[in-house]
Amino acid sequence: MSGDGKLGRRAFLGAAAAGTIAAAVAACSKPAAGSGTAAPAASRTPRPSSAPIAENARPGDPHWVIRHLGAEHEIEGYAGQASVRQGDPFPLFVSSTSAGYQVTAYRLGWYQGYGARKVWQSGPLRGHQQNGPVLTPSTNTIQTDWDPMLDVPTDDWPPGSYLLRLDADSGGQRYVPVTVRSASTAGKVVIKNGIETWQAYNTWGGYDLYKGPQGDYANRSRVVSLDRPYDGNGADMFLTYERNVVKLAEFMGIPLAYVTSMDIAADPHLLDGASAVLSLGHDEYWSPGERANVTAARDAGVNLAFLGANALFRRTRLEATALGQDRLVVCYKTSYTDDPMYGQDPSLVTSDWRDVPSPDPESSLIGTLYESYPATAAYRVVSPSSWVFKGTGVPAGASFSNLVGIEYDRVNPGYPVQRPIEVLSHSPLICQGVSSYGDSAYYTHSGGAGVFNAGTMRWVEAIFGDEPHGISGTATTFVRQVTANILRAFADGPAAGKYPAHDNLDAMHEYAGDRIGAGSVLS
């Protein structure tokens, strides 16, 4: 991922989709950090066609939006646990140059278009600037050695995706994300927060899994730690690639469960009885435990939706820090021969999933294969009769400018392909000077599951039209309708029987192999 998505905000009114969203969706879009303006007030908005869950019937709060980032280290923090059970407190680590600060917790959702609800607020707290980053030279891992500033209670917090907003008395603001995980996923659509991928791109302290302080790949981290703040506003990856799905799914009132990638890896039974699992806009880094448990869920009839591109590309290993299990994300990538597991256990070596020493291409689960970046192209429909496109009115060849990008996937017969598979879109593009295609696809599995992959990283960004990629209102309406179709169908249990894939792979004449290669070490 090249990081082309920058936070923007746009008020909008989405046209209705018959039988999916009653009348219209008036929503506050994802705010720009430091934009200086509040989220738009929610006007009277129609109820979803199914009754909203009790939580989202509660009033929202337009004041969750960060208006001023302030200086680089004016205030910043991180949670001592990426996810917690409802009712369990968690430690919050904060550093601030301000004399004082306050913490406010917001649950993200629909909330009559405001997008979040305030659930808790601390009293005034004394500011304290903690020590700088600590570097482990052998792996270029950045961690902190901070003292926790407070324990945050979650007594009455429903499961969900939360942002803690840190407000320095001097004016600076940052977010700290945390997930209150669901005790059970049975009968629910599971929203997964992609913590490993968030950390892979987190440059706080000068290093991430892509580069060091001088921007050089050779000096990158091999291991990144959750024991540090996120860079930027503190929640860029969540707000760009995940929040819109949370907002739409909660608006629709479907039964939801919330977990993280680490939660799935840790518990082989977490997904038992789930209706579906949602992998959101950028979900690149997966551990073997997570992949095994999601694959087992699919085989048992749990539907899967990959609402992005470049998912399941990097193989990780999770390790502990002093704060607990699964606080380190190990990924050596092209330096996999330096991985301590090399020569010990090939299945745990952190190369790309499709590469040696234990190749297992992602297409066996996703259906498509990541191809490359950067690319921008129109999304072109080739299977308009698919149930996925119900209510959109699109004909064959319908095209939506700029919807494919900046990374993309393709159905590639040179790698394992699940059959029957239906190529839904086949979008001509040029990437790195080479002509190719970006695809979205849907396959059905013998265990009863349906599996959808959008094949473009801009899918989630387009749901509410709040990103500036030149995606039209028409495309936004289309993406929102298709996403709603998928959410509703997948919430209803194993999709293969009701919504079979109509295999058209042979007719598509997809070429085998990689003309471009699997992107770049920098993607």
Whether residue 280 contacts residue 308, with contact meaning beta carbons closer than 8 Å, is answered with: yes
Model pLDDT, residue 519: 53
Task: Name which of 452, 447, 375, 376 is nearest 411 in CA terms.
Answer: 452
Q: Tell me the Ramachandran region of residue 340: left when phi exceeds 0, alpha when psi lies from -120 to 50, beta otherwise.
A: alpha
C-alpha span between 377 and 486 (Å, rounded)? 23
Model pLDDT, residue 253: 94
Whether residue 109 contacts residue 250, with contact meaning beta carbons closer than 8 Å, is answered with: yes
C-alpha span between 325 and 431 (Å, rounded)? 40
Model pLDDT, residue 16: 29
For the chain, what is the radius of gyration of the CA atoms? 22
Q: pTM, whole model, 2 decimals?
A: 0.91
Residues of the chain with pLDDT under 70: 1-53, 518-523
Model pLDDT, residue 466: 76
Model pLDDT, residue 272: 98
Model pLDDT, residue 39: 41
Model pLDDT, residue 523: 58
Model pLDDT, residue 522: 53
Model pLDDT, residue 115: 95
